[in-house]
Structure 1
């Protein structure tokens, strides 16, 4: 019986959850009860993944109109708003970065500059991961940096092994040298005369080798073997700690970097969509710049604290060391040489890398300079002339019913005759416009230099490949979240 239930629990839950909570909308015949009933079903399906997440995300398109909570013409546009366009554009451009391998070049370039020690290599790894996660998804940033991290871990493992072997070799050589010195000081008694036998350099080295072999094989005591096992355990534990620290640093840095930028993760985009929809018609807006001014300082502080904490947990020996040993300098040189070699193996940047890099810089500049708040940026060129006389004071005078809109923030501090004409939502261009533009350019720009001989046009990113790589699940999930938020807003 248990096996039968275990194999069919998803189907059972799929059917039972709507039936169990069905009395809620029947007994309480109100829009609030109907909305709660639908949200419970969708939440359970999401949490336990009874059906695939994108399928569950499409249920609001059916359930809300059927329950009379929202009209179909109201729900459908929520699945492709300007927020969805912003998310899609950022995903498309992130795929372009991955397709031309620009992310790996950036990562290895930074690591080759800072990779002089384990602690600074980890700092550089976290910084690059966080930066990439600001523009692409956290999962993509981790998958990008994981091979680099594994290569660094392999080099550190080799260094730890070499250090252990060298330590044991030095110990055995010291023991052998002591034995040779004792042999060199043997006295030959001749009556009352004591003749001292002195070995020359070659004889000393030969005798040293013989005694060294003898020490390794015949005269090794059990306590010496125990010391060797103890040393091996210590080095193995240090390597395990470093490996944990490097792998955790990537995961933490990707999460921290995602919250520093508006397009860093889908959660940030959803917050922007909710705020824009809730406070539509007011001066309270979220754009790329003000979110960056809020999230970037917080992300930098969190990244530094996370790095310090990982050093204390997994790399405290090197972190608190005041001076660098000669062996450590050699190990650091090998690590830096490995990173420099990997960077040089990439060769010179290709045409498509230059194109994507230039578009990347343009996209950041357009986002940052579009809107400065009180002072408009380049978006003032695309002013809506029909509503260019509406100021904040005018918008406040517009009465908004409680049924259509929740309580708005009080903006009474703004006088009606505002000297600085701060226009509210009267601009044709938005952050989503920039995202879609820069996301489409790799689909148009040529993949190779068009001035070469026998050139054949091929775009940097192919549409068929892009369709397979874009996370449509997240886009549908974003639309479902906006639909649920709108349903709550109507039912309040």
Structure 2
């Protein structure tokens, strides 16, 4: 994840910083001193105070988001919400280790440049047509983001895109639209690609862990891909059409004799990488092995009789990278601890804090209290309720961290959805997906911020292109939830 997730938002005014810094603790203190509302237990009332405290710090980022995730370890035992053992347990949830394994595989890819080689090899075949060059950029970004951090993917793809943008500008200075469309394709491709797998983006993993912990509903890697891949492909196709045919009309704006053959650019960059090293081949082998095992895990379990888990596959793949030699006759390994230490530990802490909060919302009775309060919502048509939830989360994520949004809201949506619709999946799944579908603002997602930071994109460009895609995402997520997801997960 980007520094935005790990650092304070330094540009907030001091008054607002102090307001948000003190508001949460004051509300928490109030819940400890005042009698709870009728029908609500003391534990539930205090949990509501803790949830408000964490949400206010997560939204305002006056304290680093991962640091806020540690609050339950201190507060919950002190105010007698739960014992320290039960509070600490979710910080070691199996799905946190699934994400850890995914992080380690992606770090190995970055260390040896495999991700860049995959990108350049793909882009070699993009041809001269601007819209197809943008499609190739979007597809390769999305594919890498399925398995790597979307931040790392965007950071790696940005220099490649900028080299093309500058080349086009030097040939045809009047054609700014192509460069903007190309850069936005990276931001949108990285966010959309992450939807396709459980390890592609933190909200997906948080959703799976929450459902497993709170409702004993297990979502497998392959199961999720049945829902995530078609949705991602649909969003990619629509995003590409919107960017290249309507927003910028890149083919119409470039004269045939001024079209740039980018093959020479990519060939040069690929040549700089040199021949594929043994370490790269090793990473590719482990990556493909892990992906195959994730996809066919149920079949492998049936054939071998072994209790194979997605988490076990991820950690086994990571361990294999620590064992395999980087080069023939060398003691160096494909992955060493110095490289592994680059894991974004803050994201894993955020998972733990979110899962702990979710567990306490359920165990304290707060979930039931909230569900009973809005029983009347069951009269709203199902499709309309999903549409409203997705819209709220999509536009909320424009101004807050998508991971923090998932951590704070999924535990609240689950019990209400169960009460209103009969299944927590009906709202939790689309809400988790919506957390990754904010396309308007630079602060909405790390890829948006990275592309905006290039200086080639203005705020109005992102809002102009992103607003329509937000609306498209809201409609498409609702449709996929009502059709594919309903069939796969049986709700």
TM-score bracket, shorter-length normalisation: 0.5 to 0.7
Q: Distance in 2 between matches of 1:113 and 1:344?
A: 16
Give runs of aligned pairs for residues 31-180 of structure 1, distance below 5 A.
31-161=43-173
In the alignment, what sits opposite 2:245? Answer: 312
- The answer to whether the Cα contact below 8 Å between 1:244 and 1:314 also exists between their aligned partners in 2 is no
1:415-449 per-residue CA deviation (whole Å, 9 max, x = no partner) reads xxxxxxxxxxxx73210001111122222211112
Q: Distance in 2 between matches of 1:146 and 1:473?
A: 24
1:336-391 per-residue CA deviation (whole Å, 9 max, x = no partner) reads 222223223322101101000011110111001101xxxxx1123665xxxxxxxx
1:174-217 per-residue CA deviation (whole Å, 9 max, x = no partner) reads xxxxxxxxxxxxxxxxxxxxxxxxxxxxxxxxxxxxxxxxxxxx
Structure 2 regions of 5+ residues with no counterpart?
1-11, 37-41, 366-491
- The answer to whether the Cα contact below 8 Å between 2:81 and 2:360 also exists between their aligned partners in 1 is yes
Against the structure 1 CA distance between its residues 317 and 78, is the aligned structure 2 distance closer, same or farther, given a 3 Å change threshold?
Answer: closer
Q: Which of 281, 302, 326 is matched with 1:380 structurally?
A: 302
Q: Distance in 2 between matches of 1:299 and 1:40?
A: 33
Q: Which of 224, 244, 247 is matched with 2:180 structurally?
A: 244
1:398-419 per-residue CA deviation (whole Å, 9 max, x = no partner) reads xxxxxxxxxxxxxxxxxxxxxx
In the alignment, what sits opposite 2:395? Answer: none
Structure 1 regions of 5+ residues with no counterpart?
162-234, 372-376, 384-426, 451-455
In the alignment, what sits opposite 1:400? Answer: none
- The answer to whether the Cα contact below 8 Å between 1:112 and 1:343 also exists between their aligned partners in 2 is no
In the alignment, what sits opposite 1:193? Answer: none
Q: Distance in 2 between matches of 1:442 and 1:58?
A: 31
Q: Distance in 2 between matches of 1:73 and 1:124?
A: 49
1:296 aligns with 2:229: yes
Provide the secondary structure at the position in 2 that maps to 1:286: coil
In the alignment, what sits opposite 2:450? Answer: none
TM-score by length of 2: 0.67
1:17 aligns with 2:24: yes
Provide the secondary structure at the position in 2 that maps to 1:158: helix
In the alignment, what sits opposite 2:331? Answer: 457
Provide the secondary structure at the position in 2 that maps to 1:114: coil
RMSD value, Cα: 2.1
Give runs of aligned pairs for residues 306-455 of structure 1, distance below 5 A.
306-316=239-249, 318=251, 325=256, 327-328=257-258, 331-332=259-260, 334-371=261-298, 377-380=299-302, 383=305, 428-450=307-329
Q: Which of 182, 192, 215 is matched with 1:279 structurally?
A: 215
Q: Distance in 2 between matches of 1:45 and 1:315?
A: 39
Q: Structure 1 runs of 4+ off > 4 angstroms? A: 5-9
